[in-house]
Structure 1
């Protein structure tokens, strides 16, 4: 794939301010998402030595509110094997025997990749101090099936049978293999799911979890999400999901689930999604985060001193719709703490001449917009985010075809032939109204349509830091019924310091 050679960007030009990024160097898949003693742990694929893929290890960050993150020293470093993706749990009953002084251990299951043999098998590491330091268990894997394409274990406690469940992919077969264990160290194969939905070069990063069905008290379904390396709606990689039943050994989609894939996000840049384990029952939320990137161009995106970012954390709900069960997503409520400089606009008539929103946002580079639009007679409504050099990212509404889209073809200087394009999602606009909640953070845009019924997540890389919004209607008239706009405060401290990493 041809890639344009460009000068390195100025430090931090594209670094998001309120999305998590490594302080420096390469980062990809979120791993080991677990809540313990008041802290959300976010582990992630990390190269401690540079800002391109390699030396894969588990980076580590924690937060008390899902918003303000502190990065720590590498948790699981590369040794003879790289530490690929996986998950972590709180072993509350000390089934593994790895707890000390009456405290449960944190246990991580991850894929060890041997670069010499290319084998992929599942390893275990544990922490006896709440996640600060980690030790490897034993001298080898706890699950090895002799494969070069067996990875990304998601582990959870299944209370009805009082054992652990693991979902891992047989990647190139497009299958999810389910295993059970009494103690996290001995695993028995229970069943295999797939292929189904989107076939891809590889399936990756599965997740399996129960969800209450909104509006139907007592009804629970299980969601199996699987990330596909290619074939997503916007091209390249993305997350598909299935809804069904799980009996502790077998996942079975509901009968109405069709063969066509259902995607979590219709933008180009949400991949390797995962949900947190051990969220307290009094909270009750299913919380998700993903890697904001696409395998088509992941290694080419501009970024210095870091390359790689996470999406906003999202709260999931499951709904019965005319098309069947569907997940809806909302940014977590904790993000409200970052809002500043609130401005409101009401009843703004829209026409072919762009209306500046500068009175609401003097600089949109790190901002949130929440707006209701009456589509009227317009053929198209365009929200244009333009930088000082004239590059623009467009969020558009096409009422006649019930479509919301992001167009980033002219979003910034060209850097890769696989980037650019226009990503769209289907939205019912027969009511003549649409609600958009838009988050912009220097090089990430996330659009939540009609309170999370659909989402679009895209990276974009502008020519300058200063950006302005405008809005217009084409082919008729429309109305901006209401707009709330906020500047979003940064989450990170000013220092980029990190504890040293030793080989």
Structure 2
């Protein structure tokens, strides 16, 4: 009898623990990378090498709020399923390990390679809290670390820092790439209210080339986390300069802007004075591209916003990344714009699916029964004709609603998370956000990707993108299409998505 009682108690305790874990983890993304525990922000050092994608990230392993920064590390074969690795870089006497990039030094220009081993080299900002308190204005400078074992272990360069601070308070986030025409490395660096370009033959000695941006783009906050890379468009090489900004985004808080233009190894010249945004949602910041991916430009961002990042109700971790997006270019009117689309590798998550043709939506159409997807993880591809106001509503039995829609009168897409679940942790979280439409096509093609606590909208072939996190009381198991005046959905495809094999 005692054995039976003991077994019953053990079972009850096990079930209670499982239930507590389920409640604790109910906002855990199922196919976006998030750390097992503790704080994460900017993606860093993203690089592809020998069949493996490396994702480093700003990480504080002692708490789930921002603290002394380390470089966390995760690896993947497909950018979908990630395996968290041991911490790559720890703070040291020079300071915390702030954001930066990593390159494959194929030609061993740095001299770090040994025994025919090609070095991975990380270029990052040291942030010195002691100097910061002294208000010298020189507390951020650039340093190196290298790995000869596929990123498993890292050695910091004994000559750090390689780029001292010239007296600029915010002097950080180096994104480095090889500029083949002149056989040199280019560093794209955030310098408070502008981008500074430096060059080096060996990653160790750097010289100033030029700067850009004091009279261009948005300046509602400090410029951070830049990126510079080319994309071929209509047979011409177009250079893309990404500049993240905090605050000052189109819907308040953190956001990423970009410029398109020419780069000659010394100077960047923008085609346009128009301020252009990577993502009009609230939750795609510090977005940069992977290095060493050939002709593919693949962007990944931090899926949060400094406005509330330290307060979001997740435990034992905070923050996730966006899905990786493949970038392209498209002309609208007289302007050239960047486009973002989900990477094709995400198709490995596809589960059961159904399609509809020429679906009339007047009032409300309930897709829930056909979807039969209680987890609320899905991809929805729509092509909408006879465009007027419409909305896509994710909902649950608790009365939560996450709304994504289009307003014809203003020609804007929007998201509304005012009734999406838990919103009271920050006064500006539960609001409506808007985004302009950049196409005059009478049809609107769009893709919506939903995870446990996020949606990502790609409209008009990725000309307009919106990324939003939310925190429902229960999984969003219901899905509705709504239109008061009526729209025709010429094509609809709903695909249930499976969880990725993150470890």
Q: Same fold (TM over 0.5)?
A: yes
Tell me how far 1:365 sits from its aligned partner.
2.1
Tell me how far 1:361 sits from its aligned partner.
4.1
1:395 maps onto 2:408 in alignment: no
Distance in 1 separating the partners of 2:163 and 2:439: 50
Q: Give matches, 1:62-101, under 5 Å.
A: 62-80=75-93, 81-101=95-115
Distance in 2 separating the partners of 1:184 and 1:402: 47
Q: Conserved in 2, the CA contact under 8 Å of 1:96 and 1:184?
A: yes
Tell me how far 1:359 sits from its aligned partner.
1.1
Task: Please say which of residues 223-232 and 481-490 is displaced more in the overlay.
Answer: 481-490
Q: Which has the higher contact order (CA 8 A, sep 6+)?
A: 1
Q: Give matches, 1:244-323, under 5 Å.
A: 244-254=261-271, 257-258=272-273, 260-280=274-294, 284-323=295-334
Of the three residues 144, 161, 184, the one matched with 1:124 is 144
Q: Give matches, 1:474-489, under 5 Å.
A: 474=484, 476-489=485-498
Number of aligned residue pairs:
474
Q: Conserved in 2, the CA contact under 8 Å of 1:9 and 1:302?
A: no
Of the three residues 142, 165, 168, the one matched with 2:186 is 165
Tell me how far 1:354 sits from its aligned partner.
4.6
Q: TM-score, normalised by structure 2?
A: 0.91
Q: Conserved in 1, the CA contact under 8 Å of 2:438 and 2:463?
A: no
CA-atom RMSD in angstroms: 1.8
Tell me how far 1:305 sits from its aligned partner.
1.4
Of the three residues 143, 165, 176, the one matched with 1:155 is 176
Tell me how far 1:428 sits from its aligned partner.
5.4
Tell me how far 1:328 sits from its aligned partner.
0.6
Report what 1:114 is aligned to.
Answer: 128
Report what 1:498 is aligned to.
Answer: none
Q: Conserved in 2, the CA contact under 8 Å of 1:375 and 1:399?
A: no
Tell me how far 1:360 sits from its aligned partner.
2.2
Distance in 1 separating the partners of 2:64 and 2:243: 27
Distance in 2 separating the partners of 1:383 and 1:358: 16
1:222 maps onto 2:245 in alignment: no
Which blocks of at least 5 consecutive residues in structure 2 are unaligned?
1-19, 133-138
Q: TM-score, normalised by structure 1?
A: 0.91
Alpha-carbon spacing, 1:340–1:353, altered in 2? closer, same or farther (3 Å): closer
Distance in 1 separating the partners of 2:258 and 2:305: 18
Higher helix share: 2
Residue 10 of structure 1 aligns to a residue whose secondary structure is helix
Distance in 2 separating the partners of 1:403 and 1:364: 29
Of the three residues 342, 352, 357, the one matched with 1:346 is 357
Residue 408 of structure 1 aligns to a residue whose secondary structure is strand
Tell me how far 1:362 sits from its aligned partner.
2.7
Alpha-carbon spacing, 1:430–1:451, altered in 2? closer, same or farther (3 Å): closer
Distance in 2 separating the partners of 1:189 and 1:404: 42
Report what 1:435 is aligned to.
Answer: 445
Larger radius of gyration: 2
Distance in 2 separating the partners of 1:206 and 1:330: 20
Residue 160 of structure 1 aligns to a residue whose secondary structure is helix
Report what 1:231 is aligned to.
Answer: 248
Distance in 2 separating the partners of 1:72 and 1:158: 31
Of the three residues 32, 43, 46, the one matched with 1:33 is 46
Which blocks of at least 5 consecutive residues in structure 1 are unaligned?
1-6, 496-503
Report what 2:27 is aligned to.
Answer: 14
Distance in 1 separating the partners of 2:289 and 2:183: 21
Tell me how far 1:197 sits from its aligned partner.
0.7
